[in-house]
Structure 1
């Protein structure tokens, strides 16, 4: 299994690309600057590292380059979550869920949605 291990800054770039790709460094930098003050060269360097790691690919587009994510959003989130559950909760999904529900005020709607997901999972496993 290939490792997908983006840093927080890299994940920010990926989240932007997942919404609208492809984009140039300039476009991504402009979007990042809506929430924080970051230099253009910092954004460029992050994206160059991401390309070297295989998280992004770039294609020439006139004088600039267009950047694309190499991994789907759900695949990346899934692998990050797996790594987090393994390292922080000893691989126990139930420990993660109990900690999450115990730390955060969960709305009735969210609880209903969680129950529905559990029921769907139970139905799938009973079909096997």
Structure 2
């Protein structure tokens, strides 16, 4: 018998496709599978409705989504917090790709991308605050 993974289990991470669905639900709130599928088709990539629905059902089993079945159209919403999920994934990236060094990650980011001047100012302010708190 197959046991469902729990999204609060640290070894349980959403796949790329699951993250695409979570991003939509975090942004728009509780939605039908049809809405999610239409959004994916318009903004991300072409997907078949039945594939989206099946993946969302699997995400319910894994604990990433919850579902209201009280109406004809089932409504899904994220069962995991956006900040916690992104934080855990980012921690994993820092640990595995940058040997635990957030500074190395930042240097890589700043070296690879053009930074918007307003973002750069935000970074400066954040660094100032961090300096003041030490």
> Is TM > 0.5 for Structure 1 vs Structure 2?
yes
* Superposition CA RMSD, Å: 1.5
* SS at structure 2 position matched to 1:64: coil
- After superposition, the C-alpha distances for 1:16-54 in whole angstroms (9 at most, x for unaligned) are 101122111111111111132110111011111111111
The number of residues matched between the two structures is 125
Determine the C-alpha separation between the residues in 1 that align with 2:117 and 2:31. 39
- Indicate how the Cα distance of structure 1 residues 51 and 112 shifts in structure 2: closer, same or farther if over 3 A, else same: same
Determine the C-alpha separation between the residues in 2 that align with 1:107 and 1:26. 35
- Pairing 1:2–2:43 present: no
* SS at structure 2 position matched to 1:33: helix
Determine the C-alpha separation between the residues in 1 that align with 2:117 and 2:53. 43
Determine the C-alpha separation between the residues in 1 that align with 2:69 and 2:133. 46
Q: Which stretch has the larger CA shift, 10-19 or 59-68?
A: 59-68
Partner of 2:58: 49
* Runs of 5+ consecutive residues of structure 1 not aligned to the other structure: none
